[in-house]
Amino acid sequence: MDAALESRTRELAEALWRVEPASWRRPPLALSRRLLGGLDGRPALRSAVFRFVDVAPACRGPRDRGAHLRAFVREVEGERLPLSLRPLRARSAPRLPRLPLAAYGLVSGPATALLARQFIAGRNVTDATGNLRRMWRRGQAFAVDLLGEATVTEAEAEAYFERCTETLRRLAEVTRDWPDQPLLDADTHGPLQRANLSIKLTALTPLLRPLAPERGAADAARRLRPLLRLARDLGAHLHLDMEDYDSRETLLLAFEEVLADEEFRAGPSVGVVVQAYLRDAAETLERILASPALGDREVPATIRLVKGAYWDHERVIAAQRGWAAPVWGHKRDSDACFERLSHVLIDARDRVRPAIATHNLRSLAQAIAYLERGGGRPEELELQVLRGLGDEIADGLSRLGHRVRVYTPIGDLVAGMAYLVRRLLENSSNQGFLLQQRHHSLDDLLEPPG
């Protein structure tokens, strides 16, 4: 235990803890937080609500939505329902009158849209521009994510490629005349691109095969190369998101092959992700740092360190295959790995741009404290959060003088439902950040994981 580092971590966490939340200035955010807060301690109801959220956009009108909500609520057992939902569980009325059932559908539609707006900034860049500009004025940069799952056909891959090209052009256009923000516009390596797009390699190819990653990597590279050229010409940043374990090797192979090309040595600004909840995350980070794709680049790559968003998925898939799960079995192990890798990444800041992406108060404070101890300055480290989950943390960090980037999804609500449900589960899980903030003391939150 490093006593001096722990002491400084606590000081920084306490300073961030004391920053007044700014969500009261955004009533929709505060209201949706209250809606989610009502699910605390009610896991069966939470599951029913999230299943409803998943199907609500596909329902045919208010009555259909009301019927689906009733069906899910009736499966909730052993938990006390809110008064407003109890009529839906009443078995004495197998068929509710038409008006009340439609009324539930009418109310639930806007409620679902409200939750979606907490996490999804808009249907496209034009729709999301207002949200992006407001973040910039608050001293927060963005990383846009185009919602959508893996593709299975060439047509879907081509459509995703076209969405990426159009999004890059629109982001470069709308951000060009924004007011200067010195902390967001440059770091010790040079200029930072305002237009920042995260892409899913799995959406660029229908040939993803876990046992043949070279095939998927080569096919994805056909569309990745023109995207990199466009980002270079526009002065934009392109980030390769990491998804599930099956696709990781495909992404790393494509990253290493394409970025090693002499054509891309001078740009664009690029990035990749490391997931700390994987047991071999340290080896992955070492591989990336040693990759020829990062060597001699004029614009250092950004490496985003995250915990990971597919923990349940990875455990289920591994159990089905009879394999050991690739993820840590306990949250504290993921947290400890995250802290170790954040130190490695910060130590490499002379040749890469480290980005620490988490809502864990201790993890954030610990990274800042470790940077300070090594003589680093705030502009040498980027802190990232998710829209809808880390808004108050982002406000606090930016007001304390740190560079913050908000990972901001845009897209159609139906296409984004899988993402939205994952975020809702994270938002209200027993180990979720917001639940910890509501029910844990600062001492509990700052307990060392190892």
* Contact call for residues 342 and 305 (beta carbons, < 8 A): yes
> With 50 as the cut, is the pLDDT of residue 162 above it?
yes
Question: Which residue type, as a one-letter code, is found at position 101?
Answer: L
Token reading at 152: 């299975």
Would you say residue 133 lies in a domain? yes
Cβ atoms within 10 Å, residue 347: 14
Question: pLDDT class for 40, splitting at 50, 70, 90?
Answer: low
Continuous H helices in 374-416: 391-399
Report the percent of the chain where pLDDT is more than 70: 89
The CA distance from 109 to 106, in Å, is: 6
* Contact call for residues 258 and 252 (beta carbons, < 8 A): no
More confident call, 44 vs 98:
44
Residues 415, 304 share a domain: yes
Q: Give which of 121, 169, 113 is closest to 147, Cα–Cα.
A: 121
Question: pLDDT class for 434, splitting at 50, 70, 90?
Answer: very low
**Domain extent at residue 399:** 121-445
* Contact call for residues 66 and 101 (beta carbons, < 8 A): yes
Question: pLDDT class for 151, splitting at 50, 70, 90?
Answer: confident
More confident call, 140 vs 77:
140
* Contact call for residues 143 and 405 (beta carbons, < 8 A): yes
Residues 55, 156 share a domain: no
How many Å is the maximal CA-CA distance in the chain?
Answer: 73
What contacts 177, CB < 8 A, 6 or more positions away? none
Residues 308, 236 share a domain: yes
Q: What value, to the nearest 5°, has the Cα angle with vertex 126 and ends 120 and 130?
A: 65
Return mean pLDDT, the chain: 87
pLDDT at 262: 92
**Cis status of the peptide bond prior to 268, with omega within 30 of 0:** yes
CB neighbour burial string for 301-323, b if at least 16 within 10 angstroms, e if fewer: bbbbbbbbbbbebbeebeeeeee
Token reading at 300: 């250092």
> With 80 as the cut, is the pLDDT of residue 246 above it?
yes
Residues 172, 68 share a domain: no
Question: Which residue type, as a one-letter code, is found at position 255?
Answer: F
Least confident interval from 22-26, 263-267, 342-346: 22-26
What H or E segment, with its residue span, contains residue 98?
A: helix 98-119
Number of domains in the chain: 2
Question: pLDDT class for 110, splitting at 50, 70, 90?
Answer: confident
The CA distance from 277 to 14, in Å, is: 26
Q: Pick the last residue of a domain from 91, 116, 141.
A: 116
Question: Which residue type, as a one-letter code, is found at position 30?
Answer: A
pLDDT at 24: 42
Question: Which residue type, as a one-letter code, is found at position 33?
Answer: R
Q: Pick the last residue of a domain from 97, 116, 135.
A: 116
pLDDT at 28: 55
Most confident option among 36-50, 100-114, 435-449: 100-114
pTM: 0.89
Question: What values do phi and psi take at 372, rounded to 5?
Answer: -60, -45
Question: pLDDT class for 433, splitting at 50, 70, 90?
Answer: very low
Residues 64, 192 share a domain: no
Residue 408, beta-bridge partner list? 144
Would you say residue 10 lies in a domain? yes
Residues 82, 26 share a domain: yes
For residues 247-255, average pLDDT: 94
Residues 268, 141 share a domain: yes
Q: How far are the Cα atoms of 292, 334, 448 from residue 244, in angstroms, in the given order?
A: 24, 16, 28
Residues 208, 327 share a domain: yes
pLDDT at 334: 94
Residues 151, 109 share a domain: no
Residues 194, 62 share a domain: no
* Contact call for residues 327 and 358 (beta carbons, < 8 A): no
Q: Give which of 422, 367, 412, 429 is closest to 393, Cα–Cα.
A: 367
Q: Give which of 234, 113, 216, 215 is closest to 164, Cα–Cα.
A: 234
Least confident interval from 57-71, 211-225, 435-449: 435-449
Residues 57, 35 share a domain: yes
Would you say residue 260 lies in a domain? yes
> With 80 as the cut, is the pLDDT of residue 143 above it?
yes
Q: Give which of 329, 371, 345, 428 is closest to 119, Cα–Cα.
A: 428
Would you say residue 374 lies in a domain? yes
What contacts 332, CB < 8 A, 6 or more positions away? 449, 450
Would you say residue 325 lies in a domain? yes
Residues 88, 180 share a domain: no
For residues 341-356, average pLDDT: 97
For residues 403-432, average pLDDT: 75
Would you say residue 30 lies in a domain? yes
The CA distance from 301 to 288, in Å, is: 10
Q: Pick the last residue of a domain from 76, 100, 116.
A: 116
Determine the 3-state secondary structure of 450 from DSSP.
Answer: coil
pLDDT at 30: 59
Question: pLDDT class for 27, splitting at 50, 70, 90?
Answer: low
pLDDT at 37: 62
Would you say residue 393 lies in a domain? yes
Would you say residue 450 lies in a domain? no
Least confident interval from 92-101, 259-268, 338-347: 92-101
